[in-house]
Structure 1
Amino acid sequence: MDSNKTIVFITGASGGIGFETASLFATISSYHVIVGARSIEKGEKAVSEIKSQKPQGTISFVQIDVTDDKSINDAAAAVEKDFGRVDVLINNAGIISHAESLRGQLRETFETNTIGAAVVSQTFSPLLLSSQKAKMINISSGLGSITLTLDPKSPYYKAPAPAYMMSKAAMNMLTAYESARLGDQGVKVWSYCPGYVVTNLTGTGEKGVQERIARGAKSPKESADGLLAIVEGKRDADVGMFLHKDGIYGW
């Protein structure tokens, strides 16, 4: 492994935004992308598919279930053993719960979207602190903006997704906390809204994908472009903020 490569670790990278981000970064020779995924089968398939495109960069797979502390610790240990550091951590793993009760939805959604991201951030912090160019990007959503939720002119006003919205608002607090905790040690931290794009976030398979397309969802490749811009320093003036492709959201 070329020690000059930028080591990028992405959770939830076997599909959707995570996969497209891994694919894009792998086209650039200066990056090594680590696909993090809960499913070994899906993670290895994603790596195989990206490798088949003959990327200029390099790519590997590390199994990680963000709802399992042992899995997170094992993933960090594997990355430390192979690379000694992480230059870019992208907390991308996320779900929308279909539990029947609000309590069930909150528990499932927070476990992955918020608690998982917080524990991954904490566990991988020593690896980020071993980097000379550390960045952490938490994949949030405009639905997590309290400002937009209270704005009658916003498309997110009265959106019927309370558990998801609360989980992303909490993730934004994680961003603020980590920026304050790690910022003076050289780690740049952001929240990033990838926009409304085609994913299987709802867990409803092809039907859900087609429903998102019908509602105007764009390609997740656009989200990947926005993440690359952050990693390449084009949004450094907005460090510690809640970004979207064209600007900044209010918390």
Structure 2
Amino acid sequence: MASDKQIILITGANNGIGFDTSYALAAASPNNHILMACRNHAKGEAALKELQARKPQGTLDLLDLDVSDDDSIAAAVKKVEADFGRVDVLINNAGVVGKTPSPTRADLRTVFETNVFGPTVLTQSLLSLLQASKSPKVINVTSGLGSIGFRSDPSHDTYHVPYTSYRMSKAALNMLTACQYYEFQKFGCKVWAFCPGFVITDLTGKEERQWRKDNGADSSETSAQGILEIVEGKRDAEVGTFIARYGQQYPW
């Protein structure tokens, strides 16, 4: 059906940045086919129907995928391989936040399962499908809170933001990006770490949406536009780096 299109897989696609990115990419070109990878099938179906009702140029489909479950990853990869035989763009967007000031081992495991282990295992499982693409790309959606440079700078506006386990996980995701960039060059795969910025999502809970808005958070559609620019090749000169919206580049 969409074998002649650019196959774009987005994790955590039923809400927030993943949802807006799914639409932005589908709306951008009739050549884009978006696989909305979602952990919850019912929520994924609702999100898919909502975006299809907007009648974008491109096409969208639902992919059941829980990045914290190896069996789910294996089943999803098998389906993508059978349906399309390749993945052109992988956007590791699914993420959770840990608010505990002094995280326990269990807290750390929960956050790292989704934010680090998930993208690592999923990308590795999709490696042969990325290699089958003529122009493969991997975009790891990280956070400026994962920047050791920012965390070490008392003058930076995020210096006093807590979330230790979340910061640790995003720093680890940044290292994964650097490792993937080194390893994947041999088959021409471009890799970036992308910070979507301070935007209005449910990441820290629906109850904080208004707080985010009151404190200057942008629409998550701005994050989607930032990812669209990467997919369209507008930030190819910065491949292998830690980038953000509006042409910004962050220190690791």
8 A contact 2:101–2:163 mirrored in 1: no
Per the normalisation by structure 1, the TM-score is 0.96
Choose from 169, 172, 175 the match for 2:171: 169
Q: Residue in 2 aligned with 1:228?
A: 228
1: CA distance, partners of 2:98 / 2:197? 19
SS of residue paired to 1:191: strand
2: CA distance, partners of 1:97 / 1:13? 20
Q: CA deviation at 1:247?
A: 1.8
Q: Deviations over 1:20-53 (max 9, x none)?
A: 0001111121100000010000111111001100
Within the alignment, does 1:16 sit opposite 2:2 as a pair? Answer: no
Kindly report structure 1 stretches of 4+ aligned residues shifted beyond 6 Å: none
Q: Residue in 2 aligned with 1:40?
A: 41
Q: Residue in 2 aligned with 1:69?
A: 70
2: CA distance, partners of 1:98 / 1:116? 20
8 A contact 1:98–1:105 mirrored in 2: no
Q: CA deviation at 1:158?
A: 3.2
Q: Residue in 2 aligned with 1:239?
A: 239
SS of residue paired to 1:210: helix
Choose from 174, 182, 185 the match for 2:184: 182
2: CA distance, partners of 1:200 / 1:226? 19
Q: Deviations over 1:195-217 (max 9, x none)?
A: 00011011x22x22112112211
2: CA distance, partners of 1:158 / 1:213? 19
SS of residue paired to 1:59: strand
SS of residue paired to 2:186: helix
| AA of the residue aligned to 1:198 | I
- The residue correspondences of 1:72-221 to structure 2 (distance < 5 A) are 72-98=73-99, 102-103=103-104, 104-202=106-204, 204-205=205-206, 207-221=207-221
8 A contact 2:11–2:94 mirrored in 1: yes
Q: Which runs of 5+ in 2 are unaligned?
A: none
8 A contact 1:133–1:186 mirrored in 2: yes
| Residues 149, 111 of structure 1: alpha-carbon distance in 2 compared, 3 angstrom cutoff | same
SS of residue paired to 2:91: strand
SS of residue paired to 1:73: helix
2: CA distance, partners of 1:117 / 1:21? 17
Q: Residue in 2 aligned with 1:58?
A: 59
**Matched residue pairs, number?**
249
Q: How much is the aligned-residue C-alpha RMSD, in angstroms? A: 1.2
> Once the two structures are aligned, what percentage of the paired residues are identical?
47
SS of residue paired to 2:61: strand
8 A contact 2:99–2:163 mirrored in 1: no
Q: Which runs of 5+ in 1 are unaligned?
A: none
8 A contact 2:98–2:163 mirrored in 1: no
Q: CA deviation at 1:4?
A: 3.0
Q: CA deviation at 1:125?
A: 1.2
SS of residue paired to 2:149: helix
